[in-house]
A and B are shown apart, each in its own frame.
Chain A
Amino acid sequence: MKHLLLSLSLLSIPLLAQDTSLHDYLIDGEPWKEAASGYAFTDGLCCDAAGNLFFTDVKAGKGIYKIDVTTGKTDLFLDNLPGISGLQIGPDGRFYACHNKEQRIIAITMKGEVEVLLTGVKCNDLVVSKKGNLYFTETPTLSVHLITKDKKHVVADAGHVQKPNGITLSPDERTLAVSEHGGKHVWAWRIEDDGTLTGGAPYMTMWLPVGKETASGDGATTEANGRYFVTTELGVQVFDTAGRLAGIIAKPDPLGKVVSVEFAGKDYDILYIAAGDKIYGRKLKVKGYFGKE
């Protein structure tokens, strides 16, 4: 048997900060700050090109609310659209929405004119690519749907993702990512030229709360360099482009929920979360992918 020497006193030599570390995104002295309050169940965060934040109040709200990028004030932006759970502005400048209450996918102009794209779906959350392909999750049927830019409907994946919920894209729009509300993975697929999905796999693994088997993955967004931000029971979990968990941003209220996440602000560097009756924002060192034209 060979003689082994093990060092008992390793020198600790700091290396270059890793670009994937959570500690490189957060700013000391920039904690979560309340941005809006007085709602029942906020959701559907999205951002426009100017950096305004839009959100909904799924359970009690009237329509689409807006936090103004300049004044920080919140107003009802579009009335008479209650029950939207997922929202994004598409390449044509319209809102696209999971109108969960009406079980339909709709497009909405900034003036409130509604076009119905699909009915009879228990839609939860959506993302729209720059090409104009729309993907949405249907949580109870374990399905991910595609509505192509020419309005063709395809079930893009079914039966694999445990309660698919949050949904986002890589910055090259070649990868679709979907969080599991009833599992611990964030799935990823390659997006083919026609918008269909191939090569699905449980690419990212969320950290689980102690004693639980599911991470309660919910709304998701993408940072400009391709990292995925996913809301979970433990907070906002951040994954690098290799699918490795880089860290978890704590919730503002340890007992509260976070269900939707998006970057907004004039530099897209305020991370907003929908946390029950409130919206919180927090300035980060990184910027969001969505919103920019």
Chain B
Amino acid sequence: MLVWQNPELALHDCKMSRLALVRICLMKFFALAALSLFLATFVQAAPQDDQYVLGPDSQINKDVPQGKVTQMPAWTNSKIYPGTARDWWIYVPAQYKPEQPANVMVFCDGGGFVKTDGQFRVPVVFDNLIAKGEMPVTIAIFINPGVFPTSNPKEKPRSNRSFEYDSLGDLHARFLIEEILPEVAKSYKLTDDPEGRGICGNSSGGICAFTVAWERPDAFRKVISHIGSFTNIRGGHVYPALIRKTDKKPLKVFLQDGKNDLDNQFGNWPLANQDMAASLKFAGYDYQLVLGEGTHNGKHGGAMLPDTLRWLWKK
């Protein structure tokens, strides 16, 4: 059994427990929104996940300034992904001042991360950490993958998620840099310093986060990948080899996975994440791998998100 022995990253005590992982949300505390596309057909209950519970930094604290989440009008005029529509949200911390450029974090599958009663509760965690000075004033952009809606709202639109997230190359980086960040910058002052810009995702969103920073370290340098799909869905299994043979990029990379994560036709997730970590170590990157015992869901990543963010933003 693998134990992660790092006091700074140890889990906090928590009053929430006994969360059962099921494919349908049986408990109001727990939603799989961010992962539902990927998991819809095969998530099963896994007792290994129950040990991962949310700590105090993931609970709403009325005594700290509360940031504001705004749902933006659906993004339907993408030139990078023509024909797609997607929902997105912006979180602006209470401490944001227009004269002071804010840091930025993008969340892939943002609809899951933005929920304040979900697995990650990013607005709550940001409120708590920013108030304590444990992370900088950071605007969060939560963005969903595109879908191809049809004229009939009863039809299930085709998802563009795998194409956008699992593909290698600079397409998604360009989508964020050329389309989304300029739109946010119309209303808020965002830092131009790539050290102040991060991206986070789960599963295919995890490899997407890495790909965006890998392709455009001039724009994003901080990466969080939970249960990242560094497997051969669309060629992402080559990253460990690429990292070893590529001039080191100025990235800070956090990887989380569970040793009971997926093993399927695309690859073996825990092995792939260890392979990534070994390559990042070899090439001298600033990185962390937390390998727990969980399956393919966000419970472990969500539980440790406050610690992850403290590590990520520590100078």
Q: Is the CB of A15 within 8 A of B263?
A: yes
Compute how far the CA of A188 lies from the CA of B163 in the bound complex, rounded to whole angstroms.
11
Interface string of A188-213 (1 = CB under 8 A from B): 11101100001111010100000000
Q: Is the CB of B82 within 8 A of A199?
A: yes
- Report, as a range, how many residues of chain A touch the other chain: 35 or more
Interface string of B144-159 (1 = CB under 8 A from A): 0000101100011011
Q: Is the CB of B158 within 8 A of A174?
A: yes
Q: Is the CB of B259 within 8 A of A190?
A: no
Compute how far the CA of A192 lies from the CA of B83 in the bound complex, rounded to whole angstroms.
11
Interface string of B253-275 (1 = CB under 8 A from A): 00000011011111000110010
Q: Is the CB of B259 within 8 A of A10?
A: yes
Pick from A4, A13, A172, A241: contact of B289, CB below 8 A: A4
A5 partner residues in chain B, CB cutoff 8 A: 2-5, 291
Query: B216 within 8 Å of A by Cβ?
Result: no
Stretch in contact with the other chain, from A20-28, A78-86, A118-126 = A20-28
Cβ of A205 to closest chain B Cβ, rounded Å: 6
A189 partner residues in chain B, CB cutoff 8 A: 83
Q: Is the CB of A18 within 8 A of B274?
A: no
A243 partner residues in chain B, CB cutoff 8 A: 162-163
Q: Is the CB of B150 within 8 A of A15?
A: no
Q: Is the CB of B5 within 8 A of A3?
A: yes
B160 partner residues in chain A, CB cutoff 8 A: 201, 203
Cβ of A227 to closest chain B Cβ, rounded Å: 13
Query: B246 within 8 Å of A by Cβ?
Result: no
> B interface, by DSSP: helix, strand, loop or mixed?
loop
Nearest A residue to B8, CB-CB: A2
Q: Is the CB of A2 within 8 A of B6?
A: yes
Q: Which of A172, A198, A199, A241 has the most CB of B within 10 A?
A: A199
Q: Is the CB of A172 within 8 A of B277?
A: no
B266 partner residues in chain A, CB cutoff 8 A: 244
Query: B233 within 8 Å of A by Cβ?
Result: yes
Query: A179 within 8 Å of B by Cβ?
Result: no
Nearest A residue to B41, CB-CB: A19
B295 partner residues in chain A, CB cutoff 8 A: 15
Query: B161 within 8 Å of A by Cβ?
Result: yes
> A interface, by DSSP: helix, strand, loop or mixed?
loop
B291 partner residues in chain A, CB cutoff 8 A: 5-7
Compute how far the CA of A248 lies from the CA of B84 in the bound complex, rounded to whole angstroms.
29
Query: A16 within 8 Å of B by Cβ?
Result: yes
B151 partner residues in chain A, CB cutoff 8 A: 192-193
Query: A255 within 8 Å of B by Cβ?
Result: no
Query: A159 within 8 Å of B by Cβ?
Result: no
Compute how far the CA of A12 lies from the CA of B266 in the bound complex, rounded to whole angstroms.
16
B263 partner residues in chain A, CB cutoff 8 A: 12-15
Q: Is the CB of B156 within 8 A of A244?
A: no
Q: Is the CB of B83 within 8 A of A199?
A: yes
A14 partner residues in chain B, CB cutoff 8 A: 263
A201-B82, A244-B234 as given contacts; A2 in contact with B288, CB under 8 Å? yes
Query: A129 within 8 Å of B by Cβ?
Result: no
Nearest A residue to B261, CB-CB: A15
Query: A162 within 8 Å of B by Cβ?
Result: no
Compute how far the CA of A4 lies from the CA of B161 in the bound complex, rounded to whole angstroms.
32
Q: Is the CB of B166 within 8 A of A244?
A: yes
Pick from B37, B42, B155: contact of A18, CB below 8 A: B42
Pick from A7, A16, A170: contact of B274, CB below 8 A: A7
Cβ of A117 to closest chain B Cβ, rounded Å: 26
Compute how far the CA of A198 lies from the CA of B157 in the bound complex, rounded to whole angstroms.
13
Query: B44 within 8 Å of A by Cβ?
Result: yes
Cβ of B145 to closest chain A Cβ, rounded Å: 10
Compute how far the CA of A13 lies from the CA of B271 in the bound complex, rounded to whole angstroms.
13
B262 partner residues in chain A, CB cutoff 8 A: 15, 18
Residues of B whose CB lies within 8 Å of any CB of A are 2-6, 8-9, 37, 41-42, 44, 81-84, 148, 150-151, 155-156, 158-163, 166-167, 233-235, 259-260, 262-266, 270-271, 274, 277-278, 281, 288-289, 291, 295
The 8 nearest A-B residue pairs measured at CB:
A199-B83, A7-B2, A242-B162, A18-B264, A21-B265, A190-B148, A198-B83, A16-B42
Known: A2-B9, A2-B288, A243-B162. 4 other contacts (CB 8 A): A7-B259, A10-B270, A15-B262, A190-B148
